[in-house]
Structure 1
Amino acid sequence: MKLTAQIRLDPSPEQADVLLRTMETANAACNAISEHAWATRTFLKYALQKALYHDIKRQFKLSAQVVVRCLGKVADAYKLDKDTKRTFRKRGGIVYDSRILRYYTERREVSIWTMTGRERIPYTVGEHHARLLAYQQGESDLIYRKGRFYLLATCDVPEEDEEAVDGVLGVDLGIAQIATDSDGDSFSGEQVESKRKWYAERRGTLQAVGTRSARRRLRQLSGRERRFRADVNHQISKHLVRKAKDTKRAIALEDLTGIRKRTTVRKSQRARHHSWSFYQLRQFIEYKAKLAGIPIILVDPAYTSRTCSQCGHCEKANRKSQARFACQACGHTMNADVNAAKNIAARGAVMRPMVSRSDHASTGVGRGKLAA
């Protein structure tokens, strides 16, 4: 499985200046390549390389492999859209490969190509990303963010063999309760919602003030809410995958692709709905499950919240409120999210895994098997 390890470079002031100059020169080269590509309507990497390689190498004094990476960056940008001229930020990220970057994981140091030659630069990395670096393969992106340099390294991490399982753990994703499983465990969204409101109010106040110090504070706050949400999603996904592995069960999730377009909410709840990070949580659950050898099954979400998990009766009136489910046929009552999770688990046990996106097909997600 392809995962990304993030490390923070710790260059000296002189090395930092050289890294910035390298990034600025490489992005200037990308803009020059883009000018030619746009003017001549030439967007394929091979054609651009044939036309520009020697000129770009001579004009910008870049190494051969850096020029190749710049040509590839421009060609990749035009793959997305050939109707808009591509421009590159002065200090935008640049791509390195094994010919111009080497990791020395034992002493936590990299050897990286710069405009003045190779530089040996120490780095800082967390334990999780340090483990990923043992499987580093392919490209790494050098980025500059808020005065610091980072390398985002592609790592090809081996997956455990998919286990034969004895059942299915259904997981219902929501807003009031971020996740609820078919065992009845749930993870409240109140802490996330209170944080969202606090950050929204704080941003509004600082934007209204508009002073230099207020703008500086806004920059400091930037990304904190996103990182908080990601941390919560990591904790939830780790708990669910650990439970599934310990109990030898697959994990069944609703296929919620395009849910924001398919659902409507009250005006007062729009901000909360659109900041809902269920897709990120699903991604975290999926990749952690694959690493642990736990099958993931995607099921049709239709009517899981209206169907009785005891008798199968489906009716809108069954859902009495956000939190309460009461079957109009058999009288069964329970928490509405737990009821939905049980329905998801039942569908996962009897339906073929549903894969709604091509990336799941390519990675094998959803090809779970139940033990007889």
Structure 2
Amino acid sequence: MVYDKRSATFYRDRVSLSTVNGRIECEFELPADSPTPYEQYVLSEDYEFRASTLQYDKATDEFYFHITTRRYDSDDDEVSEDTEHHTVLGIDLGVNSLAVASTGTFWQGNDYDHWCREFEKRRGEMQQRGTQAAHNAVLRLGKREEAWRKQYIHTIANEIVSEAVENRCDVIVFEDLPDIRKRLPQAKWHHIWALRRLAEYVGYKAPEQGVSVEQVAPNHTSQRCSRTDCGFTHEDNRHGEHFECQKCGYEVNADYNAAKNIGLRYARKRKHRFRSSPTSGSGDAPVDVRVNGGLLNGESYQPIAGD
């Protein structure tokens, strides 16, 4: 059985698999004599997970996974011809906060959740009456709620674009969203709706201001240490809203850490692709990630005076 990167997510000692009955998690053991270190390829920022094959050995009654990865600078990667300097704004979308930027700006979801609950409460009260007038009132309430939700998300989208423009960012980067329901199983429908619409609205508003919008793979962005001199990845690094690296001790808000990782992943990916281009010249693509108080270039921290 073959799993692609949407149906299989690998961690340090377990894997999450998509099945007909929902996702399941299984622990696994690595062969002691493996010539290809697991962390070097599967958990590395330099390699892209491509696919995995699950095989059953009837003789031993055991299952085996064979994983395929590819270095980001492979020849068949698409390479941009744009060699100008780029500054990236990473955006993490989630439950605790609707959005968090790599600059340290938070867009909380408390007010949004509160009014969604209020609309739900009013709708329930009207439906209990069981009259035609109440039914018509429910329909009118639904239209008002939809208009309010759209306007609320439009406002946040405008603020995210403004955040990019004010910080001289050329690119806004989100996580890839197709599997957001699986990534946030505890989120209610109106929250998932908000995150998808937010990315959609930013997607067409940002180019109007000269800012492009990109997406990167979501795996391990919440578990990886965003310090560029560390990068340690482990599920124990994150505890709810708090992130503490088990290797270097770096402590920070978990969503802010993820936002930086999203920006850094795009920066590293673009550098890898640019280096593989026959027209890359010096072999470096100048990409920085805007953070609170400076810039990260994927390799070191560059503080900017006055930020």
1:181 is the counterpart of 2:101: yes
Tell me: CA distance 1:264–1:290, structure 2 relative to 1, closer, same or farther (3 Å).
Answer: closer
Question: Which region of structure 1 is more displaced relative to structure 2, 236-245 or 187-196?
Answer: 236-245
2:116 aligns with one of 196, 207, 217: 196
Which is richer in strand? 2
What one-letter code is carried by the residue in structure 2 that aligns with 1:312? G
Encode CA deviations 1:115-141: one digit per residue, 9 max, x unaligned. xxxxxxxxxxxxxxxxxxxxxxxxxxx
Give the alignment of 1:71-90 within 5 angstroms: none
Deviations 1:51-88 (A, max 9, x none): xxxxxxxxxxxxxxxxxxxxxxxxxxxxxxxxxxxxxx
Partner of residue 32, structure 2: none
Query: Could you tell me how far apart the structure 2 residues matched to 1:298 and 1:264 are?
Result: 18
Secondary structure, aligned partner of 1:277: helix
Deviation at 1:239, TM superposition (A): 1.4
Greater share of helix residues, 1 or 2? Answer: 1
TM-score, normalised on structure 1?
Answer: 0.48
**Alignment deviations for residues 198-238 of structure 1 (CA, whole Å, 9 cap, x no partner):** 11111111111112331221122022222222112111111
* Residue ranges of structure 1 left out of the alignment (5+ in a row): 1-161, 354-367
Distance (Å, rounded) in 1 between the aligned partners of 2:265 and 2:257: 13
Deviation at 1:163, TM superposition (A): 11
Given the alignment, which residue of 238, 251, 257 partners 2:158? 238
| Counterparts of 2:118 and 2:83, CA distance in 1 | 43
Larger radius of gyration: 1
- With the length of structure 2 as denominator, give the TM-score of the two structures: 0.57
**What is the one-letter code of the residue matched to 2:101?**
D
1:203–1:218 contact (8 Å) kept in structure 2: yes
C-alpha distance in 2, partners of 1:244/1:182?
Answer: 10
Structure 2 gaps, min length 5: 1-81, 272-284, 289-296, 298-307
Deviations 1:109-164 (A, max 9, x none): xxxxxxxxxxxxxxxxxxxxxxxxxxxxxxxxxxxxxxxxxxxxxxxxxxxxx995
Determine which structure has greater relative contact order: mean sequence separation of CA pairs < 8 Å that are 6+ residues apart, divided by chain length.
2
Instruction: Write the mapping of 1:71-220 to structure 2, written as runs, cut at 5 A.
Output: 165-220=85-140
- Rounded Cα–Cα distance in structure 1 between residues aligned with 2:91 and 2:155: 15
Identity, % of aligned pairs? 34
In structure 1, C-alpha distance between the alignment counterparts of 2:185 and 2:172, rounded to whole Å: 28
Number of the residue aligned with 1:314: 233
For 1:349, which of 251, 264, 267 is the aligned residue?
A: 267
Work out whether 1:259 is the aligned partner of 2:180: yes
- Partner residue, 2:249: 331
Letter in 2 for 1:314: T
The letter for the 1-side match of 2:239 is K
1:263 Cα offset (Å): 3.5
| Two-structure CA RMSD over aligned residues (Å) | 2.6
Show the counterpart of 1:299. Answer: 216
CA distance in 1, matches of 2:212, 2:188: 34
Aligned counterparts of 1:239 and 1:291: Cα–Cα separation in 2: 14
Work out the CA distance in 2 between the residues paired with 1:292 and 1:256. 23
* C-alpha deviation, 1:280, in angstroms: 0.8
Could you tell me which amino acid in structure 2 is paired with residue 328 of structure 1? Q
Alpha-carbon distance, 1:175 to partner:
1.9
